[in-house]
Each structure stands twice: as structure tokens, then as C-alpha cells.
Amino acid sequence: MKNASAIGWSEVATAEAALIERCTAGDESAYADLVSAHQRMVYTLAVHLLRDPEEALDLSQEVFLRVFRTLPSFGGRSALKTWIYRIVVNQARNRQRWWRRRHRSSQVSLDDHLQRFGDLESTGEVLPDRLLAGKETSRLIWQALDRLPFDQRTALILREVDGLRYDEIAYSLGVAIGTVKSRLTRARQALRAELLGLHP
């Protein structure tokens, strides 16, 4: 039996292609394999984007149904994982729009906050030394993240949590790499501004 760590990238791609071929042929065991291989990733991203476990479960189910419906048109233009990321992002964006139409609240945009307090990069200000990574900081960061625009939030999550490269994020969001860079910069600036405002 071959050791899992010894499997090369070409073999991964071959195994992925074989799995896709079985799925498009209607093999139910292949469906189950594909879902099992990606369900944790899909669910986690859905929770990060929607912040609701139940809704994330529902979205995950919809994502896999969409994956199987559109798998024949996949075409292999990206890795299967990146393609699935893209579907998750699109489905989550649609839900966000629906949710925002019905729950227009007085949420304060971090962009507005940034405009009020200025660009920290230009001021040269840095966070205090006493601000350490902890549960409280994480909670504040995630709260601040929720107030970011969907595209900035998604770009930062895909980069920091899922560890995607810029080109993979660009494909998942359907934008250019330059747009990804600018969104990441704006999101990080907004979060720094938020932390600085909370811990002066």
C-alpha cells in the first residue's frame, strides 16, 4: 500500500480527474467520495461567510447539489477545490443579498470608520505591545470582520483562514488578482483601525 504522504501532485490530479469522471457517469459512490472529501472545507467556509451554523449546513447541501448539477461543465479550468470554493462564495453572496434586503439595519461599515479615522498605513501608527492574540482579540476581530463588505471579508477569510493564493482567491471571487490585493489591503487596514480604536 502506498503511503499517503508519498502521493505526488500529478497523482492527485489524476485521482481527482477519475473522481470527476465517475461522478459525471452517475456513480453514487463517487458522489459520496466527493462530498466526504470536501464537506468540512465547504461547511467551514460557509460558517465563516454566513456566521450561522444551521444556515451554513443548508448552504453546504445546496453547494454540493450545484456541484453535481454543473460538474459536466466544469472543464478543469482550475483545481476542483478552487471551483467548489467559487460556488460556495457565489451561493453565500446570493444569500447575503437576500438577507440584507430583509434585514437592513443600522450596521456601521468599517469603511466608514476608516474614512473617519483615516488610513493607518499613512499615519505610521502601530498597535500597542500589550495587545496580544487571545480569545477577546479574536472575538473583536471577527466582530469587526462581520462589518466589512462581503467581498473584502471573503478575500481575507480565503487568504488567512483557508490559505488560498492570490490567484485562487481571484478565481473564487471572479475578479482580477489586483482587485484581490486591494481588497485584502482594505480589509486589513479596516481591522487594524478597529483594533486601534478599541485599544487606544
Between 11 and 123, name the residue whose CB sits nearer to other proteins: 123
C-beta closer to other proteins: residue 51 or 100: 51
CA distance 90 to 16: 23
Burial 115-124 (b: 16+ CB within 10 A, else e): eeeeebeeee
Closest contact distance (angstroms) between CB of 167 and other proteins is 9
Shorter beta-carbon distance to other proteins: residue 1 or 53 = 53
Residues that bind other proteins (CB under 8 A): 28, 31-32, 35-36, 39-40, 43-44, 47-48, 51, 53-54, 56-57, 60-61, 64-65, 68, 121, 124, 126-127, 131, 133, 135, 137-142, 145, 156-157, 159-161, 165-166, 181, 184-185, 188, 191-192, 195
Asked if residue 62 lies in contact with residue 91, where contact means CB atoms within 8 angstroms, the answer is yes
Inter-residue contact 197 to 147 (CB < 8 Å): no
Q: Which is nearer to other proteins, 3 or 122 (CB)?
A: 122
Shortest CB 11 distance to other proteins, Å? 24
Query: How is residue 181 written as a grid cell?
Result: 490585493
Least separation, in Å, of the C-beta of 42 and other proteins?
A: 8
CA 124 to chain CA centroid, nearest Å: 29
Cβ closest to other proteins, residue 8 vs residue 124: 124
CA 142-86-140 angle, to 5 degrees, is: 5
* Of 110, 136, 143, 125, the residue nearest 196 (C-alpha): 125
What's the min distance (Å) between Cβ of 89 and other proteins? 16
Considering the complex, what minimum distance in angstroms separates the CB of residue 3 from other proteins? 26
Sort 37 into a burial class: Cβ within 10 Å, 0-12 / 13-18 / 19+: middle
